[in-house]
Copies of this chain bind each other. A is one copy, B any other.
Amino acid sequence: MDLRLDHLRRERTGLAEAVYAPGKSPAQCADAVAGLLAGPGSGPVLLTRASAAQAEAAIARSPGAVTGSAGTDESGTPLSTLTWGTLPATGRAALVLTAGTSDLPVAREAAAVLAAYGHEAEVVADVGVAGLHRVLEQQDRIATADVVLVVAGMEGALASVVTGLTQAPVIAVPTSTGYGSGFAGVTALLGMMASCSPGVSVVGIDNGFGAACAAVRILAVRE
């Protein structure tokens, strides 16, 4: 397979092409990362949802990556997000809230992508609405953030509550956590789409990467 890399994607869309590891061999991952690093693109190079073997192969070929945890795959293998060429700090910050602790891997993937683009990304976990005081304790941070990401499974109610507490854009990420009636994220997805709070927008299930990309686009509006 000769790679069809999109070196100038950041110039076009503000976001450099990222290498999505699942389904690629370690060698293919290493090739893609090395290819992007060698190209004319200006952006950070990201390898997302990489297994240990994929990460090792990529780092062996292209040292200098920053590595962040990104949970596990379906069979429990730990995954990580790797970044080469982090951009300089922008001074802007996203707030990443999670309803429960099991939403953390998705939140951390989002935070790693935001960090690669030079944005701060503070993760505050476990502020689900079953104990409303927990989210109310964060009310000031929520009100003053530049952009808020809400990562939640089950019924996804946190997105509606948070959106009612801030003027910032809110991006909701449904996650596949939760008992049987969460239907692997579909319940949260539907709930977030139908939110009674105006102005929340939604990305795909467990798509921390996509949510971070949406946030990068929004934070760039400020520049």
Contacts and interface: CB of A to CB of B under 8 A. Distances in A.
Interface of A: 1, 3-4, 6, 9, 12-15, 17-18, 22-24, 28, 99-102, 104, 125-132, 134, 136, 143, 146-147, 154-157, 160-161, 163-171, 176-207, 209-211, 213-214, 216-222
Given A168-B217, A186-B190, A187-B191, 9 more contacts: A12-B164, A13-B163, A17-B131, A147-B221, A156-B157, A157-B157, A157-B191, A181-B204, A200-B214
Contacts of A217: 167-170, 199
B221 A157 contact: no
A110 to B, nearest CB: 12
A13 B164 contact: yes
A155 B194 contact: yes
Contacts of A22: 102
B204 A180 contact: yes
Contact of A179 (B17, B207, B219, B222): B207
B201 A203 contact: yes
B196 A128 contact: yes
Contacts of A189: 181, 193
Contacts of A181: 189-190, 193-194, 204-205, 207
A72 B148 CA distance: 34
Nearest to A183: B190
Nearest to A127: B4
A190 B191 contact: yes
A96 to B, nearest CB: 14
